[in-house]
Amino acid sequence: MIGPNVTITTTGHPIRPDLREGMTQFSLPVTIGCNVWLGANVTVLPGVTIGENSVIGACSLVTKDIPANVVAYGQPCKVVRAINAHDETYYWRGRVINPPFDKR
Catalytic (active-site) positions: 13
Q: How far is CA 10 from CA 25, 29, 38, in A?
A: 10, 6, 16
Write the single-letter amino acid at 65.
Answer: D
Contact, 31 vs 44, CB < 8 A?
Answer: no
Residue of 70, 95, 94, 65 whose CA lies nearest to 81: 70
Is the CA virtual torsion 78, 80, 84, 89 positive or negative?
negative
Contact, 96 vs 88, CB < 8 A?
Answer: no
